[in-house]
Chains A and B, each alone.
Chain A
């Protein structure tokens, strides 16, 4: 893990986290801070509480419990001393910080007209550490390309949360945008890629500039609602490929439908463990029935790393359980 990330934490929390052994620090996925409750870290599917003197414990009572002073200072640091710049983020419940990491927040919501307008008395933080795995999509990409027509096939990537969808999507954007120069049948010059990054997860933009490598020909609409963003991107940036994360609502499906008919390739992801899950989701069922997607990639995790299963538009299996590179 990048040590600079720890600069965000108040001194005491920082010293506790620095005492975590290096190999675990490298695999850290989440740091959870809840005021008055144990300080927790998650790594490789496990969790541990941190003791006040350093070291791990499973007993909540023995763990260090962050105080109000800790959470106030942490909020001050992650908001760059400017909570007023984060009104939209507070409404959504998370902040993206430098490096593309995301801090989820909980506290008391302030409602206006029945909708969440603001979050105050923030007392819970979940720092999700973003990792860029270059090469995560190396093995998948050739199956998603139509090299003859120099285009990308319409693809839907499926997996449960925390199985590497976003990592895969980010690397696909990088590879497609970068292209593979050469004259062989398996080469294609870089295409114009448009990313609709509603939750600032794919590119991790800070002030409009991506924190992650997403390729030289990639445009990003940061923090934009997916359905609206896809239309904006099509109208303004003439992309060859549109990349969106986590489609699920019917308006997202309609926008994907529009994009597919506009001759633009779409790579999207959705939550779900299998094709069957998706067929039963309202909104997405229309896209599946009309066979709008030409490829479905279902990601899963095993002890050896990440795997994917590939289906074509008629749901026939093309590849099963093929190692998909290290996806975390």
Chain B
């Protein structure tokens, strides 16, 4: 009896692990797309609205879903007077706090980090160029993430279950 319960637990956890991995593959391109949209909104806020960076990030954060929403709001909070942080430091803190909650990988994180170094330090035209560059890099990552999704999403779902089945068979 106990053997059966153990086998069921292994099968269940293996299946869930597979599902989780598959979900990561599905969420990553979606979150990269959201990040690109956030950058496009930031571009509008900077070029037409002349909105100061902390307010712009807060506004964009409000319109987005978690975890990107919390990440942007956290970065905006770090820039408030009294905190004394630069844009780069605020983003570094926000990335450390919230990046793990996203399904995105280190390549995307590096794009955001690089952008944070130049954000707010130059005139509008220059800012536009930097944001456009970051967005195009993210688009490449998005394309790669979609390929990964097509290749591995279904596979991870079944792989999780199959590996756990293999373990059960080996144990028996």
Q: How far is the CA of A90 from the CA of B81 in the complex (A)?
A: 21
A-B contact count (CB 8 A): 53
Interface size class of B (residues with CB under 8 A): 20 to 34
Q: A76-B120, A76-B121, A118-B123 are in contact. Are A81 and B86 (CB under 8 A)?
A: yes
Let me know if A228 is at the binding interface, CB within 8 A.
no
B135 at interface by CB-CB < 8 Å:
no
Query: A81 near B84 (CB under 8 angstroms)?
Result: no
- Shortest Cβ distance from B128 into A: residue: A84
Instruction: Indicate whether A81 sits within 8 Å of B54 (C-beta atoms), given known contacts A73-B86, A76-B87, A76-B120.
Output: yes
Cβ of A61 within 8 Å of any chain B Cβ, yes or no, is no
Complex CA gap A118/B51 in Å reads 19
- Give Cα A4–Cα B81 distance, bound, in whole angstroms: 9
Q: Cβ of B52 and Cβ of A85 under 8 Å apart?
A: yes
Residues of B within 8 A of A81 (CB): 52-54, 79, 86-87, 119-120
Tell me the dominant secondary structure on chain B's binding face: loop
Mark contacts of A58-92 with chain B using CB atoms, 8 A cut-off: 1 yes-contact digit, 0 otherwise. Answer: 00000000000000010011011111110100100
- Residues 1-26 of A, flagged 1 when their CB comes within 8 A of B and 0 if not, give 00010011011000000000000000
Per the bound structure, the CA–CA distance linking A206 and B124 in Å amounts to 20
B106 on the interface (CB 8 Å rule)? Answer: no
* A324 CA to B139 CA, complexed, in Å: 67
> Which chain B residues have a beta carbon within 8 Å of chain A's beta carbons?
46, 50-54, 56, 79, 81-82, 84, 86-87, 119-124, 126-127
What 12 additional pairs, Cβ within 8 angstroms, besides A7-B82, A80-B52? A11-B84, A73-B86, A80-B53, A80-B79, A81-B86, A82-B51, A83-B122, A84-B122, A84-B123, A85-B50, A90-B123, A118-B123
